[in-house]
Amino acid sequence: MPRPLRDASIEVSDERVCQAKLRFNEVVPCKLDEDVELRMKRKAVIGYINNGKDTMPKRNRLTDIHQTNTKKAGVGTRTPFYELKIDGSGKPYDSILDMRADKIANHLSVKEFNWIEDVIPLQYESVVEEGPMNFLEKVESIVVSRYHRLIFLY
């Protein structure tokens, strides 16, 4: 996908300057349309003025695009962006499955953070079919293990 003109003035760097805190070589477009960005800033200011209370009506953002009363696509009505390969090449993924594989690997890599005790992959379908007990037992074993280590230190 070609970059829009609004991205032409942005220097390619490793800084997270683009929307969703992505780097320039990770997303197209890097910057939102000016009117969309202005609306987002206004909403943030209104929220700040109202002491963080959201005055906007609550919506289910996951299903908004499926509503019949949603505006038709056009400038500023939706803000799609296209994630590029995370290797920094600035190239698009060959398929949605390749992108999904990178996203899963990224999520599982949080286990390497020193403040993370463990990561338990959870498949929604398995919880629906088998119930939550298997997952809860795994969580319990981690919590109990951590608790016993803390008691031992004191």
- Give pLDDT tens digits for 4-35: 888 888 888 788 888 888 888 888 888 887 77
Q: What pLDDT, on the 0 to 100 scale, is given for residue 74?
A: 47
Residues 6+ apart with CB under 8 A from 78: 65
What was the pLDDT predicted at 96? 92
The stretch 61-81 carries a mean pLDDT of 52
Q: Which residues contact 75 (CB under 8 A, 6 or more apart)?
A: 33, 35
Reply yes or no on whether the pLDDT at 72 is more than 70.
no
Q: What is the pLDDT of residues 76-113, one digit of tens each?
A: 445 778 889 988 888 999 999 999 999 999 889 998 99
Q: What is each CA distance from 68 to 64, 72, 109, in whole angstroms?
A: 9, 10, 39
What are the tens digits of pLDDT across the range 104-148? 998 899 989 988 878 888 888 988 999 989 889 988 888 887 776
Q: Pick 101 or 50 by higher pLDDT.
A: 101
pLDDT attached to residue 63? 47
Contacting residues for 91 by C-beta, under 8 A, at least 6 apart = 84, 85
**pTM for this prediction:** 0.56
Judge contact between 28 and 22, C-beta under 8 A. no
What is the structure's pLDDT at 150? 63
Reported confidence tier of residue 56, pLDDT bands at 50, 70, 90: low
pLDDT of residue 125: 92
